[in-house]
Amino acid sequence: MRRINIGLAYDKKCPEHGTLGILPCAWPGCRNGLDDHEFEEKSLIEGSKPRIWKRREWKSPLGGQYYSWEGNELPNWFHAPQTFWNEARRLQLVPASYPDTIYHYTSIEGFLGIVRTRSVWMTDFSYLNDRREVRYGLDLLLEVVNAMHSTATRGDVQCLLSAWRDKLAASSNRVCITSFSGEDDSLSQWRAYGPIAIGFPVHPLALHVDQGRLQPVEYELATQKKLVQIYVQHLVSAFEADMDENRLDRISDVYHKSDRLLELAVFFKDPAFRSENEYRLVYIDYPDVLNSFGVESPPRSFRVARGRIVPYVPSTEVLKSEHRSFPLEISEVVLGPESDELLEQGVREFLHENGLPDVEVR
């Protein structure tokens, strides 16, 4: 069996098949992948057991098939989101590339906190200005889940879909979100959030939150429906594979307890908000799953916003490994139309005092 060194760089890409991640492209015959149908991952830790990866074929509800690498250690539940997003990129349902910089609009107080800590505050979505933002995506998912439930023939799949319907009505998992915009001069964003927009380079930002996901928000209804079809079908197929191959002994009800569906719903918004050009950095806490592997959920912090006590998690605290998250890079700071010279001067001095003298301010 072929042995390869995976490494830690999240930079392997296949433009043809949408693959992004640390593994080679899984499509047979691809120049960015392997001819072998399985390979052994060379361990970076001396004495540890090597992992075996095998190619798996999946059927698409839109027709045809797609592929992923399946590890021998963990259920497909852990790899399902990455496999789905790779397929969505291949079908050009989501962008294959992002702008170099995206912007977080914030108040002066928020700017000071972000620069001091080199992290962003990931707010519990239930405390966002409009909870209907996430409800919109959940309702789309519910339509597909109901349709699949009515045609499911396997009893265990019917039970799974019933559990998902309950979860869609009232999720118990913590969804933490930070919003960004692809626009560096949005009047509506200035009005809603404050006089400062902090520019973050996209690639380091995407790697900043362990197990988090950075994606643009999708506003087009037809695209949303296709994404939902693929995602729900893939989760069901992953569940069937894990059940048939006895991969769920340690976490037998992981598909029922943990609401993977939220991981798609948070990236949908009503078409009326298209002008926001929003990107979201999202982390979803699965306490039941984490606890089963001896990992604690990140602790919550609290802040005051608009007369409320709002829970959040600093992005540097969202961690599922022994390595501490690296500080966020800041590429530039943009000041709003009502800013004055004193604000600009204060911003420059504050950046300098915090070790960021070369950050552009405009």
Q: How many domains does the chain have?
A: 2
Concatenating the DSSP letter of every residue in 34-54 gives -SSSEEEEPPSSTTPPPEEEE
pLDDT in tens, 321-347: 445 567 789 999 999 998 999 999 999
Decide if pLDDT at 289 tops 70.
no
Residue 153 domain-assigned (yes or no):
yes
Q: Please tell me the predicted confidence (pLDDT) of residue 349.
A: 97
Q: Where are the alpha helices (DSSP H) in the chain?
A: 80-90, 108-117, 132-151, 155-169, 187-193, 202-208, 221-244, 254-257, 262-265, 287-292, 341-353
20-34, 109-123, 150-164, 322-336: which range is least confident on average? 322-336
Looking at residue 46, its pLDDT comes to: 65
Q: Is residue 31 part of a domain?
A: yes
pLDDT of residue 166: 85
> What pTM was computed for the model?
0.86
For residues 153 and 26, membership in a common domain is answered with no
- Digit-coded pLDDT (tens) for 111-140: 999 999 998 988 887 777 666 777 888 889
User: Count H helices, E strands: the chain?
Assistant: 11, 16
23: tokens are: 């593994």
Which of 164, 140, 162 is CA-nearest to residue 150? 162
Among 96, 98, 93, CA closest to 220: 93
Determine the structural domain holding residue 231 and report its residue range.
Answer: 99-361
* Residues 61, 176 within the same domain: no
Q: Give the pLDDT score at 335.
A: 97
Q: How confident is the model at residue 62 (pLDDT cuts 50, 70, 90)?
A: very high
Cα–Cα distance, 181 to 98 (Å, whole number): 12
Same-domain status, 149 and 234: yes
Both 129 and 10 in a single domain?
A: no
Find the helix packing angle between 132-151 and 155-169, rounded to 10°: 160
Does residue 325 sit within a domain? yes
Tell me, yes or no, whether 78 lies in a domain. Answer: no
159 and 58 both lie in a single domain: no
Average pLDDT estimate for 273-286: 86
Write down the pLDDT at residue 169: 74
Of 306 and 247, more confident: 247
The reply to whether 23 and 152 lie within a common domain is: no
The DSSP output letter for 104 is E
Q: In whole angstroms, give the CA distance from residue 25 to residue 18.
A: 9
Is residue 94 domain-resident? no
Segment 293-311, tens digit of pLDDT: 666 677 788 888 778 888 8
Distance CA 33, CA 19 (A): 10
281 with 217, same domain: the answer is yes
Q: What is the mean pLDDT of residues 37-42?
A: 87
Up-side HSE of residue 360: CA atoms within 13 Å toward CB? 8
Q: What is the pLDDT of residues 70-109, one digit of tens each?
A: 987 788 888 898 899 999 999 999 998 888 999 999 999 9
Residue range 273-292: mean pLDDT, rounded: 79
Same domain, 55 and 180: no
User: Are 113 and 257 within one domain?
Assistant: yes
Looking at the fold, whether 169 and 306 belong to one and the same domain comes out as yes
